[in-house]
Structure 1
Amino acid sequence: MKHLLHSFLSKSTDGSTFKYEIYSKYQELGYHKKIPEGTCQIVQSVFDADSNLFKVVDINLNIDELFKANQPNPNTWYSDGQDRVSLDMVISYLDALN
């Protein structure tokens, strides 16, 4: 994965700060702004107050549950293509993990 699509910070319920970086094979998400399954990699880091740095926790965070929950229905035509997961959905999913 070579293109950084989005990076954001998220606070957990215990006060920890997480940073998520969403990388993709593609520079753009296309006309409908959907992410094809298997084309993104998510790096999760947590802020370490002692060193004042973000430490990488997971270099390939698994979000297969999000893609499974949003699979296209079989034998159904979608005007915006078969990919059902948008960047906003990924961000909301990651934010809810904390």
Structure 2
Amino acid sequence: MLPDRLDQRIAEAIKHQIDNERTESDTTSDAWRSRCEVAKVAMFSDAQRSVFIHHVSERRGSVAAHEIESQAKTLRTSAIFFLARKPS
């Protein structure tokens, strides 16, 4: 599968997961805003994620950048496993 198409499918899986979580979450909380930010970053391509993380590091510090990067990787990995189990 082409990388762009894979990124698109990963983004769709993440969007679906966030939409499901939205019904069970307090969407006014800081935790929800953080979750949505991580999901947005996880939907970016590798290059876009790198640029975003760099900007976060400059503006909010390396700890915040590392946390977003780590959570985005985890979310992408979950989406990839979901797609692997999903019948075509």
TM-score above 0.5, yes or no: no
Q: TM-score, normalised by structure 1?
A: 0.24
The structure that has the greater radius of gyration is 1
Which structure has more relative contact order (CA 8 Å, sep 6+)? It is: 2
**What is the TM-score when the length of structure 2 is the normalising length?**
0.26
Higher strand share: 1
Higher helix share: 2
